[in-house]
């Protein structure tokens, strides 16, 4: 027994090290009431070995009261009110792992009155799974949840057409749902939208592929989740290191502790402190396990600099390249969570990364009507409303648009008197932004980092194609403009934008893309990728 102990310890250490290397996938499951969200998650947990024996035994006992052998929804619906009504009220988080990945799953409410709970659960997700009842088709709530998922910057959407067993596993029903929802979701700017015919109760196409739907040749939902790209964007973006704490245990040590919200940092890197603009180099990177040569988001580390510069909590270290905008006036989308309606005279505190500043909602531009997804004029925002606002802060923030960086593009608003969190915000743009006194023109790399693509002239044959593709690119967040002359098209492309031009441009422009006649938005994106203008995920 004693001789076996080292082997046992080494096996445990190897297992822990292997688990540490596994990718983490943050998953949110959304949909209308009774679409089967909790049942689907319960099935994933059950077949993915994410449950303990006592949990399974307890659910089996509770299931017998309803005349069922195993009610998978009870693995997530833990509140008494949820079990009595058969609905999800609060966000429930569950955890499981496979040989390849670790998963954090958020089961969110489907009721409109719990929109704020859904937004909370989706705010950190890499992938959203939206359920649609095959019998009912696409509902307003389905469109509402897809819009909120896109608003929160979730890049990939998996659409599970559930309860296929109740429509005889009909291929026609599935294809009709794909056509109806695909047209809507395509305009929301997701990087990827995938569809799966499933039966959460029977287990068809959830973990294993179903023989009852032989007409479906795609992967199961679990196979999709095992392969979907996640967790690679944060480290690839420009450096953002909000300072959380200044460590000074003795006269020989001065370090700035915090979490890398995006980017990488290496020993010897030149860095700039915001808002002062002071420059230094990274002398050492300290972590729990000791000194590191480099660190990447989302690691928490302490940086020691070569120079004694003035830097405190709420300020930020960045690289020389693309920098955040320093601004005190912001345009943003708000998800209102407070019980009291929005009052423009109300004193608020805005929390952004590690910075807290006094702020107020200076102007309400409009409220998003979740039934039509159109913005209408409004005097205030009620609980669960989504609106577009202008926010004024007493001190500047260091921000990026939410679509570019979810960490530096997000914030919360807190009531200054009650300390209640009243809203979550996604920054659209900085209104009075300043780039730390830079006077030179942005470089091509900086423009590409800001827009997500390079400059090019897209040469088209007719105005109809130009109008259609302009809207398709605009809806996806591209910086695009339709221009009348070849000279203007060349100037727009040189500025790092996409110029749509009907007719020949000759040799004036640099990169010219000529999509085929009647090209779709997907065709055009493929052409732009082949030309090196952008990189598709």
Q: Is it the case that residue 17 has pLDDT exceeding 70? A: no
Distances (CA, A) of 31 to 16, 110, 126, 144, 146: 35, 5, 17, 9, 9
pTM: 0.67
| Stronger pLDDT, 217 or 106, i.e. the higher one | 217
- 156 vs 88, higher pLDDT: 156
Q: How many CB atoms lie within 10 A of CB 21?
A: 7
Is 282 in a helix, a strand, or coil? Answer: strand
| CA torsion, ordered 125, 127, 128, 129, to nearest 10 deg | -140
- The 3-class SS string of 286-339 reads EECCEEECEEECCCEEEEEECCCCCCCCCCEEECCCCCCEEEEEEEEEEEECCC
pLDDT over 50 (residue 82): no
Average pLDDT over all residues of the chain: 82
Asked whether the beta carbons of 165 and 64 are under 8 A apart, the reply is no
* Lowest pLDDT segment from 69-83, 165-179, 315-329: 69-83
Q: What element of type H or E holds 44?
A: helix 37-47
pLDDT in tens, 93-147: 788 888 888 888 887 775 555 566 677 767 778 899 999 999 999 887 788 888 8
Rounded to an integer, the average pLDDT of 283-294 is 93
How do residues 429-438 score in pLDDT, each as one tens digit? 998 665 444 5
Contact 400, 391 (CB under 8 A): no
Do the domains 325-430 and 234-318 match in fold?
yes
Asked whether the predicted pLDDT for residue 79 surpasses 50, the reply is no
Q: Which of 166, 176, 324 is nearest to 238 (CA)?
A: 324
pLDDT of residue 4: 45
Confidence at residue 53, expressed as pLDDT on a 0 to 100 scale = 74
Taking every pair of Cα atoms in the chain, the longest distance, rounded to a whole number of angstroms, is: 84
| pLDDT of 466 | 78
Collapsed DSSP state (helix, strand, coil) of residue 255: strand
Phi, psi of 274 (to 5 degrees): -110, 140
Q: Which residues contact 287 (CB under 8 A, 6 or more apart)?
A: 295, 299, 300, 301, 302
Asked: is 234-318 a CATH 3.10.20.30 domain? The reply is no
For the domain spanning 325-430, the CATH number is 2.40.30.10
Q: Which pLDDT score, from 0 to 100, does residue 471 have?
A: 79
Report yes or no: 502 and 514 within 8 Å, Cβ to Cβ. Answer: no
User: Which of 213 and 96 is assigned the larger pLDDT?
Assistant: 213
Mean pLDDT of 219-246: 86
**Residue 99 has what pLDDT?**
81
| Res 20: pLDDT | 65
Q: Which residue has the higher pLDDT, 7 or 535?
A: 535
* Distance between CA atoms of residues 165 and 199, nearest Å: 6
Tell me the three state secondary structure of residue 419.
coil
User: What confidence tier does 341 reach under pLDDT thresholds 50, 70, 90?
Assistant: very high
CA distances from 330 to 367, 392, 398 (A): 17, 7, 11
Of the candidates 35, 46, 178, the one whose C-alpha atom is nearest the C-alpha of residue 105 is 46
Highest mean pLDDT among 70-84, 337-351, 363-377, 464-478: 337-351
Question: Residue 86 above 50 pLDDT?
Answer: no
Class (C level, CATH) for 17-227: alpha beta
Amino acid 8: pLDDT: 67
Instruction: Identify the pLDDT of residue 441.
Output: 66
34: alpha, beta or left? (left if phi > 0; alpha if psi -120 to 50): left
More confident site: 80 or 173: 173
Sorted by where each begins, the domain ranges of the chain are 17-227, 234-318, 325-430, 444-530
Cα distance between residue 247 and residue 265, in whole Å: 19
| CA trace torsion 8, 10, 16, 19 (10° rounding) | -100
Q: Is the pLDDT confidence value at 40 over 80?
A: yes
Q: What is the pLDDT of residue 397?
A: 92
Closest by CA position to 425, among listed 47, 116, 196:
116
Q: Return the closest-CA partner of residue 282 out of 436, 295, 290.
A: 295
Q: What is the mean pLDDT of residues 232-236?
A: 69
Give the residue with greater pLDDT, 1 vs 511. 511
pLDDT digit string, tens, across residues 187-204: 787 888 999 999 988 889
Q: How many CB atoms lie within 10 A of CB 100?
A: 11
Q: What is the pLDDT of residue 38?
A: 81
pLDDT at 248 > cutoff 60: yes
């Amino acid at each position: 027994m004693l001789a076996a102990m080292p082997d046992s310890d080494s096996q445990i250490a190897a297992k822990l090290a292997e688990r540490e290397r596994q990718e983490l996938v943050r998953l949110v499951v959304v949909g209308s009431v009774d679409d089967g969200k909790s049942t689907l998650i319960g099935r994933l947990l059950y077949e993915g070995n994410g449950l303990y024996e006592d949990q399974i035994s307890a659910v089996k006992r509770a299931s017998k009261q309803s005349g069922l052998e195993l009610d998978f929804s009870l693995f997530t619906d833990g509140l008494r009110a949820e079990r009595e009504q058969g609905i999800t009220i609060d966000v429930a988080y569950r955890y499981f792992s496979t040989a390849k990945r670790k998963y954090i799953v958020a089961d969110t409410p489907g009721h409109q009155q719990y929109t704020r709970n859904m937004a909370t659960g989706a705010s950190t997700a890499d992938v959203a799974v939206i359920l649609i009842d095959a019998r009912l088709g696409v509902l307003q709530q389905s469109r509402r949840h897809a819009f909120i998922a896109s608003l929160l910057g979730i890049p990939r959407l998996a659409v599970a057409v559930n309860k296929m067993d109740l429509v005889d596993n009909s291929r026609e029903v599935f294809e009709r749902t794909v056509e109806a929802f695909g047209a809507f979701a395509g305009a929301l700017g997701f990087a990827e939208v995938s569809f799966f015919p499933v039966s959460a109760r029977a287990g068809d196409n959830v973990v294993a592929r179903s023989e009852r739907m032989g007409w479906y040749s795609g992967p199961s939902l679990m196979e999709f989740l095992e392969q979907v790209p996640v967790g690679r964007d944060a480290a690839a973006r420009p450096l953002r290191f909000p300072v959380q704490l200044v460590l000074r245990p003795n006269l020989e040590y001065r370090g700035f502790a915090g979490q890398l919200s995006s980017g990488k940092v290496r020993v010897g890197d030149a860095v700039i402190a915001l808002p002062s603009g002071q420059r230094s180099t990274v002398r050492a990177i300290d972590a729990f396990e000791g000194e590191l040569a480099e660190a990447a988001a989302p690691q928490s580390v302490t940086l020691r600099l070569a120079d004694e510069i003035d830097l405190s909590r709420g300020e930020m270290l960045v690289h020389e390249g693309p920098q955040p905008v320093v601004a005190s006036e912001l345009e943003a989308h708000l998800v209102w969570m407070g019980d009291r309606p929005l009052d423009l005279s109300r004193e608020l505190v805005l929390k952004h990364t590690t910075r807290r500043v006094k702020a107020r909602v200076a102007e309400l531009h409009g409220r998003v009507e979740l039934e039509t997804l159109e913005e209408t004029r409004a005097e205030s925002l009620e609980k669960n409303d989504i609106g577009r606002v202008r926010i004024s802060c007493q001190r500047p923030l260091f921000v990026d648009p939410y679509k570019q960086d979810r960490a530096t593009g997000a914030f919360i608003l807190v009531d200054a008197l009650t300390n209640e969190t009243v809203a979550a915000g996604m920054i659209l743009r900085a209104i009075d932004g300043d780039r730390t006194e830079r006077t030179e023109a942005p470089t091509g790399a900086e423009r590409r980092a800001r827009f997500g693509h390079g400059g090019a002239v897209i040469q088209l044959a007719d105005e109809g194609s130009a109008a259609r593709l302009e809207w398709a690119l605009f809806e996806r967040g591209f910086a695009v403009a339709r221009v009348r002359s070849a000279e203007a098209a060349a100037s727009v492309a040189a500025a790092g934008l996409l110029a749509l031009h009907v007719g020949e441009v000759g040799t004036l422009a640099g990169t010219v893309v000529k999509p085929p006649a009647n090209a779709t938005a997907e065709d055009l994106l493929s052409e732009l990728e082949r030309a090196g203008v952008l990189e598709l995920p």
